[in-house]
Amino acid sequence: MPGSGLILGIETSCDETAAAVVERGARTLSSVVASQIATHARYGGVVPELASREHLRAIVPVVGAALEKAGVTLSDLDAVAVTSGPGLAGALLVGITYAKALAFANQLPLIAVNHLEGHIHAVLLNEREEFVIDGSRNAGPSTRSPLRAELAQDDHRSGEPASQKGNRRSPFDCDRSRDLRSGQAFDSLALRNAKGSLAQEDSGIAVNEAAALALVVSGGHTHLYLAQPAHDTWRYSLIGRTVDDAAGEAFDKVAKLLGLGYPGGPWIDALARFGNPNAVPFSFAQIKPKAHLGGKAPRTKAARTAPIARLDPRFLFSFSGIKTAVLRYLELHGMRAEAKARVSRVLANFLPPQTREEAFALCPQATLDLIASFQHAVVGDLMKKTFAAVESLGASRILVTGGVAANRELRQRFTAEGAARGVAVLFPTLALSTDNAAMIAAAAWPRFLARDFAPASLSADPSLTLG
Ligand code: KG4
Ligand code: ZN
């Protein structure tokens, strides 16, 4: 057996059925992702009923493959973690029901993980993994080790290896006393105080485990959080968010308008390299949240789930306008027919173009310029607001995560801007940027240490929020 502290993560919130085994939130033993792209591509978006059905088909083999690749059996595990929201209700329920059954049958604790927290932990997992590799190379003990700090706390608290099953609480024991999901009121002083008190109270926490601004940018979310380590767990405060579409949604919708494949992000990313990013001057208006709400109830479901009005308007995003601007541009320049004609060729090819020749075979220069300009504008807006928030909060590092964090231009420009400002910018690996279960197992580790287990009544929460 590779060691104790093994958590099986399960993720079924949208269109990927994923399972992974992660050791102590720091070492990925396996990560298996079964994508449903082929199922949904012909509809140009995720069809919820089909997603649930595909999850049902894939969940048993995917979990089996994750255990096999990790070289472990169910009896080696210490907990089962599952995404409880946000996401598609039916899709979430497949993962939750299966995770519950596994946990119950094997007398394992069940840990509920917020999908957004999972994305943040994708970056932290990579960071810890690098440490594990470096640590094994350098061998000697280090008081700056975040992992060692956690392990020491765990050993101290449990007094036994985590894998020793005898003394376990019931899998469905519920201890919500340490539930940290509810957000905290936040101001820039809070961050500075948090940094100071962390340094005093817990010198075992390495500098790179300090508070960070996290940009979660995916198909369903464009959210800015302040993530702060608090003893053995993490606390999140919502700093900014989109008031309408998510950035990934804009990539998907614009790709659809242009007759490109689903999901749109990888197509736009691949084609933008061959266009002029300054050809079409897209702009984003500054959002005034109170004016946006106009005293009326928020229009979108997303807007209803968070009190946008209390957020600083400088950190609010809006991506629905740029989609309309692209549509108008296509109509004004007589490019609609050309876009429509592309659909059948794209469906036949299936994968985004890799070479200049393939890109030009698919799109004329004017379309490539439009694509490059769209991507440049979206990345520019994400950067502008994220760096404004980092400056305002005094944070020293940014975690950029979620499917859109796989974007090449985004990675390059965030990294360059961070270097110019002396702010560290961290991304997950490409595989961990999009939905996966390793991030869910990693996010579950602090909850495991805190014995923050889910009750037997755990259900899907499609609009679960963070912070
Ligand atoms: O995190 P994710 O896999 O699922 C959600 O939680 O939504 O993100 C999927 C989103 C899709 O909108 C997809 O178009 C976008 O991430 N995406 C990208 C890239 N790869 C995936 N967007 C821009 N550039 C990419 N390379
Ligand atoms: Zn996601």
CA 337 to ligand 2 centroid distance, Å: 33
What residue owns the CA closest to ligand 1's atom 21?
A: 403
CA 347 to ligand 2 centroid distance, Å: 24
- CB of 269 sitting under 6 A from ligand 1: yes
CA 403 to ligand 1 centroid distance, Å: 3
CA 67 to ligand 2 centroid distance, Å: 22
CA 161 to ligand 1 centroid distance, Å: 39
Note the ligand closest to the C-alpha atom of 40.
1
In this prediction, residue 275 carries a pLDDT of: 98
Give the closest residue to 79 by CA, choosing from 186, 199, 165: 165
Whether the Cβ atoms of residue 424 and residue 211 lie closer than 8 Å to each other = no
Whether the Cβ atoms of residue 450 and residue 233 lie closer than 8 Å to each other = yes
- CB of 265 sitting under 6 A from ligand 1: yes
Which residues, by Cβ under 5 Å, contact ligand 2, an ion?
Answer: 218, 435
What residue owns the CA closest to ligand 1's atom 26?
A: 407
Task: Please state whether the peptide bond connecting residue 462 to the residue before it is cis, i.e. omega within 30 degrees of 0.
Answer: no
- 3-state secondary structure string across the chain: CCCCCEEEEEECCCCEEEEEEEECCCEEEEEEEEECHHHHHCCCCCCHHHHHHHHHHHHHHHHHHHHHHHCCCHHHCCEEEEEEECCCHHHHHHHHHHHHHHHHHCCCCEEEEEHHHHHHHHHHHHHHHHHHHHHHHHCCCCCCCHHHHHHHHHHHHHCCCCCCCCCCCCCCCCCHHHCCCCCCCCCHHHHHHHHHHHHHHCCCCCHHHCCEEEEEECCCCEEEEEEEEECCEEEEEEEEEECCCCHHHHHHHHHHHCCCCCCHHHHHHHHHCCCCCCCCCCCCCCCCHHHHHCCCCCCCHHHHCCCHHHCCHHHEECCHHHHHHHHHHHHHCCCHHHHHHHHHHHHHHCCCCCCHHHHHHHCCHHHHHHHHHHHHHHHHHHHHHHHHHHHHHCCCEEEEECHHHHCHHHHHHHHHHHHHHCCEEECCCHHHHCCCCHHHHHHHHHHHHCCCCCCCCCCCCCCCCCC
CA-406 nearest atom, ligand 1: 26
What residue type is 180 in one-letter code? Answer: L
In this prediction, residue 290 carries a pLDDT of: 54
Question: Does pTM surpass 0.85?
Answer: no
Give the closest residue to 404 by CA, choosing from 366, 433, 443: 433
What residue owns the CA closest to ligand 1's atom 19?
A: 265
In this prediction, residue 35 carries a pLDDT of: 86
- CB of 44 sitting under 6 A from ligand 1: no
Note the ligand closest to the C-alpha atom of 117.
2
In this prediction, residue 294 carries a pLDDT of: 47
d(CA 227, CA 221): 16
What residue owns the CA closest to ligand 1's atom 14?
A: 265
In this prediction, residue 29 carries a pLDDT of: 97
What residue owns the CA closest to ligand 1's atom 23?
A: 265
What residue owns the CA closest to ligand 1's atom 16?
A: 403
Mean pLDDT by 10 residues, the chain (467 residues): 80 95 96 87 82 94 98 97 97 98 98 98 90 46 31 32 32 25 23 28 37 95 92 87 95 96 95 97 72 52 63 93 95 94 80 91 96 98 97 93 98 98 96 96 95 96 93
